[in-house]
Amino acid sequence: MSFEKLYNNFLVWKTQNLKEKQVVLCVSFLIGIFTALAALILKTLIHFIQHILTSNFLTQGANYVYLIYPAAGILIAGLFVKYIVKDDIGHGVTKILYAISQKKSFIKLHNVYTSIIASSITIGFGGSVGAEAPIVLTGSAIGSNLGRFFKVEQKYLMLLIGCGAAGAIAGIFKAPIAGLVFVVEVLMLDLTTFTVLPLLVTSVTAATLSYLTMGTTAMFSYAHADAFLFERIPFVILLGIFCGLVSLYFTRAMNGIENIFRKLSYWKKFALGASVLSILIFLLPPLYGEGYDTINTLINGAKGYNALLDNSMFFQFKDYRWTIILFLGGILLMKVFASSSTNGAGGTGGIFAPSLFLGCIAGFIFSFIINHSRLSGYLPFLPEENFALMGMAGVMAGVMHAPLTGTFLIAELTGGYELLLPLMIVSVCSFVVIKLFEPHSIYSMRLAKKGELITHQKDKAVLTLMDIEKLIEFNFQKIRPDMTLGDLVKIISRSPRNIFPVVDNQDRLLGIVLIDNIRNIMFRPELYNRFKVSRVMTSPPATIKVGMTMESIMRSFDDTKAWNLPVVDEKDTYLGFISKSNILDVYREVLAENFVEE
């Protein structure tokens, strides 16, 4: 029996024996298995490549291979994407948000594996980015394609994409709660009584499989140096403010640098990005790769942070107290250039790991300076390991606009649940600070500007999902300004509508004629040849431009109190009308099709 026949028989059996919600639960379990395996493959590939390339590194003095490895990795990954994948696979989380809002939750099948290959090469060779955004895109692609394979209803596909993202986070970090919270905060999916269950099934399944394959220890070996004291709360708040400012710097610098790369040709991008990245890694070796070794060094409580100067030209100054702060300060400023250069030059990676890396350094610098300043005798001691941990939560919360994700992810990554309260304080303070300057996260700001971002406000979410082309009605009779009133009456007699667009020879909209405005003269034959359309036409209360967001369109209807508004393109060519009644019909269709009820 052929596969197609078996598949069709299965679909018939599924339809007859399983309810749709039962199918979703089964698929969410499969997503958890596949996302955990994908995370395992990605981490194994990265560590394998890094081990081969760096196992013979010297610990004293500079390593000149830092000038070669990152550029080689970007070149290989970039050529793979350009000539084999032939599709843009960068900005993974942004692509998921766009797929949810504009592509009916459709993510291409190749995203199941291409991000894994490209990001493992990029990061394994030293690219200064993270593997989490690629694995989140991989997980969401798994969810989307499994959902379509099992012919799940459209309104559940969005949920399965969320399951894929939750499973990816839970699998790569061994953090099931963070996976669930990430979907709610960053992908902005609403939770209902039913939707929370598939997300939990996927997260728990992925985390359990990761525990079985990668061990039960936390991802970072955190040494709880000192219990949290309430007298440190003012400094925790100050750290949150500092993390918010670091997040703002990272977000704006990242966008500015990416805009520069966007204007360059492919090989110019590679030359510029590879040069910047290689030089920065040569000068500041902790920028090599994800930076998780640096995080472990700063939070493990061994006071061996001077080891971070190994492999660098600053090795000879490692015994000076303030050398490490100057060194880490340079990394804090330059990390954004290294990360954006990696992606801009053709590499594939995300900003998950860079935000953790920056946060750890920010928290360490903050506490180290206070502990070793001249005022240290008057101030409480701030455990550097604790504050490095809090800084990770703060910068992640600020960059992603996700305070709960920052809090629970760091607690699960390190087992530092004793610091849950200060983690929450830092995350909230950082989020509040960056929210004053940037209303949207680094993932969503581009889509928000285009009106293509799904939000937790269901009304706005439905408007975002609506297809404007489906709203345009074309059964309006066009008329010319030089037509007589008699000609207009003949057209009115065979038209089902009471509004008529007036266009010129190039179909450019000049105005409209409403039956209500000519009712007093349309039955007077003696005026039929005396009046021209140009005399009785009026300007429309507003026009809708192709490309306007649905929110802007609805604002136009609200402001004008009109029932029908004409649609024109960028050259003012008339296309049709949009009516309130049609908007309401499509609104109800989209609501029923895409949102899961309780």
Query: What digits encode the pLDDT tens for the residues 349-364?
Result: 888 899 999 999 999 9
Q: What is the pLDDT of residue 223?
A: 62
Mean pLDDT in residue range 332-344: 93
Provide the token pair at 35.
Answer: 């996302």
- Average pLDDT rounded to a whole number, residues 18-38: 92
pLDDT at 342 over 90: yes
What is the average pLDDT value for the chain, to the nearest integer? 84
Residue 568, strand partner residues: 545, 574
Helix (H) or strand (E) holding 95: helix 92-102
Tell me which residue of 448, 89, 449, 437 sits closest to 252, measured CA to CA. Answer: 437
Q: What is the pLDDT of residue 235?
A: 93
Over residues 456-467, the pLDDT tens digits come to 555 565 666 677
Q: Distance of CA 325 to CAs 316, 363, 423, 501, Å? A: 15, 12, 23, 69
Q: Cα separation of 462 and 447, whole Å?
A: 15
Residue 453's pLDDT band, with cuts at 50, 70 and 90, is: low
- Domains of the chain, each with CATH number or no CATH: 3-214 (1.10.3080.10), 230-460 (1.10.3080.10), 461-594 (3.10.580.10)
Q: Determine the Cα–Cα distance for residues 391 and 379; give it in Å rounded to an integer.
A: 19
Give CA 273 to chain center in angstroms: 23
Q: Which residue has the tokens 């004008």?
A: 560
In this prediction, residues 252-262 reach a mean pLDDT of 91
d(C-alpha 546, C-alpha 453), whole Å: 18
Residue 361 phi/psi, 5° resolution?
-65, -40
pLDDT top residue among 404 and 593: 404
Tell me the one-letter amino acid at 105: S
Least confident piece of the model among 143-157, 243-257, 525-539 = 525-539
pLDDT over threshold 80, residue 104 = no
pLDDT range class, residue 142, cuts 50, 70, 90: very high
Lowest mean pLDDT among 12-21, 53-62, 572-581: 53-62
pLDDT of residue 7: 78
pLDDT band at 518 (very low <50, low <70, confident <90, very high): confident
Between CA 307 and CA 460 the distance in angstroms is 51
Pairwise pLDDT comparison (371 vs 2), residue with the higher score: 371
Percent pLDDT > 90 in the chain is: 34
Residue 90 pLDDT > 90 = no
CA dihedral 257, 261, 263, 268 (to 10 degrees): 140
* pLDDT value for 394: 95
CA dihedral 460, 466, 469, 470 (to 10 degrees): -130
DSSP 191: P
Checking if the pLDDT of 393 tops 90, the result is yes
Looking at residue 144, what is its pLDDT?
92
Least confident of 199-203, 268-272, 324-328: 324-328
* Higher local confidence (pLDDT), 8 or 171: 171
User: What was the pLDDT predicted at 88?
Assistant: 81
Structure tokens at 140: 């969401």
pLDDT at 143 over 90: yes
Tokens standing for residue 211: 């525990």
Of the ranges 29-38, 318-327, 408-417, which one carries the lowest mean pLDDT score? 318-327
Distance between CA atoms of 309 and 306, rounded to whole angstroms? 6
Q: What is the spatial distance between Cα 364 and Cα 386, in angstroms, rounded to a whole number?
A: 8
Quick one: which H or E segment has residue 544? strand 544-545
**pLDDT for residue 335:** 94
Tokens 């989020």 sit on residue: 431
Strands 544-545 and 509-514: unpaired
When pLDDT is averaged across residues 154-162 and rounded to a whole number, the result is 86
Helix (H) or strand (E) holding 326: helix 323-344
Nearest Cα residue to 210 out of 259, 254, 176, 160 = 176
Q: Extract the tokens encoding 245.
A: 């400012």
What count of residues does the chain have? Answer: 598
β-bridge pairing 544-545 and 564-568: parallel
Bridge partners, 513 (sequence order): 500
Say how far apart CA 301 and CA 323 lie, in whole Å: 19
pLDDT-based confidence at residue 37 (cuts at 50, 70, 90): very high
Local confidence band at 246 (pLDDT 50, 70, 90 cut-offs)? very high
Q: Stretch 414-429: mean pLDDT, rounded?
A: 87
Nearest to 365 by CA among 332, 400, 343, 319: 332
Contact between 170 and 204 under an 8 Å Cβ cutoff? The reply is: yes
Strand order in the sheet with 564-568: 544-545, 564-568, 574-579
Q: Is residue 230 very low, low, confident or very high in pLDDT (cuts 50, 70, 90)?
A: confident
Establish how many alpha carbons lie within 13 A of residue 223's alpha carbon, considering only the half-sphere containing its beta carbon: 13
Q: Which pLDDT does position 450 carry in this prediction?
A: 54
Q: Where residue 10 falls among pLDDT bands split at 50, 70, 90? A: confident
Strand pairing category for 574-579 and 564-568: antiparallel
Radius of gyration of the chain measured on its C-alpha atoms: 29
User: What pLDDT score was predicted for residue 218?
Assistant: 75
- pLDDT of res. 301: 64
